Amino acid sequence: MRVGLCAAAAGLLLSGCAIAGATGNEVLGDQASTQSRLVIYRTSPLGFAVQPPYSIDGKAIALSTPNGFIVCHLNPGPHQVAVGNFPININFGGGNDKSGVTLRPGQTTYLKAEPQMGLTMGVITLSEVTENQGKADTASLHKLDGSCT
């Protein structure tokens, strides 16, 4: 019983890491810029202890924290987005930890990060979703601290 309570308390503490920032409803309004906006988000608390970093074009920008999102304003064109999963881990759940995206001026692209089962620990995979799904999914998530520049 005690072990279960301690595990639950630890889970609540760790899953609360992303609750400091503004929500998607507050931050992700209409995009009126010549730059492009990329939003990477993770809704699932499954595997909350697995939080490898996201990177764009080889530069780490933020951790893949459950219930959080990162917003990057980037130049239009092709970009490579990746998750820094443990290199020798084998992904049993399918999906890819790298995604090539071509960003368009004034538009927002959404990538959803999802935990999957791996050989030694969980892995995080990326998939592009529609703008409508991305807006709905991020509405109540919290903005993560990170650096996209």
- The sheet with strand 36-42 has its strands ordered as 123-129, 108-116, 36-42, 68-74, 142-143
- The sheet with strand 59-63 has its strands ordered as 59-63, 53-56, 77-83, 98-103
- pLDDT in single tens digits along all 149 residues of the chain: 443 333 333 443 444 444 566 766 656 666 557 789 999 999 988 878 889 999 999 999 999 999 999 999 999 999 999 998 876 656 656 667 889 999 999 999 999 999 887 666 778 899 999 999 999 999 999 999 888 86
How confident is the model at residue 27, as a pLDDT?
A: 60
How confident is the model at residue 92, as a pLDDT?
A: 58
- The residues spanned by each domain of the chain are 2-143
Interstrand relation of 77-83 and 98-103 (parallel, antiparallel or unpaired): antiparallel
